[in-house]
Amino acid sequence: MKTLIEIHVLQSFAPSNLNRDDTGAPKDAIFGGTRRARVSSQCLKRAVRRHFREKAEWKEIFSDNLGLRSKRLLDEVSALLVKQGQDPGEARERARLAMLAGAGAWVSPTEPDSEQDEKSEYLMFLGRNEIAAVAATIKER
């Protein structure tokens, strides 16, 4: 027979709306017979990521080594290709095709004058060296 241990933590936060649902209302849960604000693990992880990026002494040490977590990696890859001398339009299209082939991340093309951002279907996380490797592979082919 397995033993199941559940740990519930009550933690105090300053009065604020740390975690919202899709309507903007605070998330809550009934705990101990009382309705309490609920903070998701995603909310806490985001706070840690933001703190890590903004902390001054870490910024200068890790700024070049921090990965990028975004739906807009197409911009990063195509900017590297342009920096290496490729035509901006061709660089963007080749980066879009590489993202589709390599990660299955379709980036829908927008009209040339569109104000809408080109984003991948889902959030991707790549280190700066991985982004450079993707750009180098695209340039070789």
The 8-class DSSP code of residue 22 comes to T
Are 72 and 136 contained in the same domain?
A: yes
Are 61 and 81 contained in the same domain?
A: no
In which domain, by residue range, is 131 found? 68-140
* pTM for the structure as a whole: 0.59
pLDDT higher than threshold 80 for residue 140: yes
Q: Which of 10-19, 20-29, 93-102, 103-112 has the lowest mean pLDDT?
A: 103-112
pLDDT higher than threshold 70 for residue 114: no
Q: Which residue has the higher pLDDT, 25 or 119?
A: 25
For residues 127 and 65, is the Cβ–Cβ distance under 8 A? yes
For residues 106 and 71, is the Cβ–Cβ distance under 8 A? no
**Please, which pLDDT band fits residue 81 given cuts at 50, 70 and 90?**
very high
Number of domains in the chain: 2
Are 24 and 49 contained in the same domain?
A: yes
Are 52 and 115 contained in the same domain?
A: no
Choose the final residue of a domain: 11, 46, 65.
Answer: 65
Are 56 and 76 contained in the same domain?
A: no
